[in-house]
């Protein structure tokens, strides 16, 4: 439980990892585990994932959301990595300024680029990977079972920055407008900070979408 009083289902674990306090989520399904945004501390994250095989899903290409991927794959060699195709250069090109700034080497693990919308299944429930560009060109969110894993699109009382290479405020606003279609009770699981709900963020979203 967080200060917001919101609870995730028992089979989902939220970990805050790394210097940038990135939220990594581990979804332990009946037949497999999903690891969302392993930003750092890969060994710690792997200890939580109890089901195999594992699937690693990146919401976007910023290194504070994938810095633990290589470490995860050292422990889970049969895992699958999914990442947004339009963010591929942010993972693998050594000359990207953000990687130089954070003093992080490009990702070594080879993954599968994806282009949303894409549907996945866990626990006989359908989950959707939905494109939400703006913070990065390929940013995506994961939606299912009353939960929205929003990456750096939407936080409690805030939104993702758009002043980094590839960012677009106009695209971010379009992506935020799509979030207004979700019900108020949907729990938002952001890439940083505490959980919130669409209802709690609706006034803020509406003000942003009016810009």
Asked if 73 and 53 count as a contact pair (C-beta separation under 8 A), the reply is no
Instruction: Say what the pLDDT of residue 103 is.
Output: 65
pTM of the model: 0.93
Asked if 18 and 68 count as a contact pair (C-beta separation under 8 A), the reply is yes
For residue range 123-176, list pLDDT tens digits in order: 889 999 999 999 999 999 999 999 999 999 999 999 999 998 889 999 999 999
For residue range 15-58, list pLDDT tens digits in order: 999 888 999 999 998 888 999 999 999 989 988 866 677 899 99
The H or E element spanning position 206 is: helix 198-209
Query: Which parts of 30-152 fold into alpha helices (H)?
Result: 42-48, 69-75, 88-92, 97-102
Indicate the Cα dihedral angle 19, 20, 21, 22, nearest 10°: -120
Tallying the residues shown for the chain, one arrives at: 211
Nearest-angstrom CA–CA distance, 87 and 166: 9
Cβ-Cβ contacts under 8 Å for 186 (sequence gap 6 or more): 146, 147, 148, 197, 198
For residue range 77-117, list pLDDT tens digits in order: 788 999 999 999 899 876 665 566 666 778 899 999 999 99
Domain 12-209 has CATH 3.60.15.10: yes
């Amino acid at each position: 439980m967080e200060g917001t009083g919101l609870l995730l289902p028992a089979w989902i674990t939220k970990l805050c990892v790394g210097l940038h306090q990135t939220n990594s989520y581990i979804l332990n399904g009946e037949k497999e585990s999903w690891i969302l945004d392993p930003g750092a501390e890969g060994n710690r994250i792997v200890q939580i994932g109890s089901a195999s095989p594992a699937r690693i899903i990146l919401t976007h290409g910023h290194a504070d959301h994938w810095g633990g991927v290589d470490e995860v794959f050292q422990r889970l060699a049969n895992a699958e990595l999914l990442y947004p195709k339009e963010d591929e250069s942010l993972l693998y090109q050594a000359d990207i300024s953000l990687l130089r700034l954070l003093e992080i080497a490009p990702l070594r693990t080879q993954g599968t680029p994806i282009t949303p919308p894409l549907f996945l299944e866990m626990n006989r429930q359908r989950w959707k990977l939905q494109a939400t560009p703006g913070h990065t060109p390929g940013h995506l969110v994961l939606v299912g079972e009353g939960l929205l894993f929003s990456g750096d699109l939407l936080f409690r009382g805030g939104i993702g920055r758009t002043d980094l290479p590839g960012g677009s405020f106009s695209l971010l606003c379009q992506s935020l407008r799509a979030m207004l279609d979700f019900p108020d009770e949907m729990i938002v699981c952001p890439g940083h900070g505490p959980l919130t709900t669409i209802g709690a963020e609706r006034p803020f979203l509406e003000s942003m979408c009016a810009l």
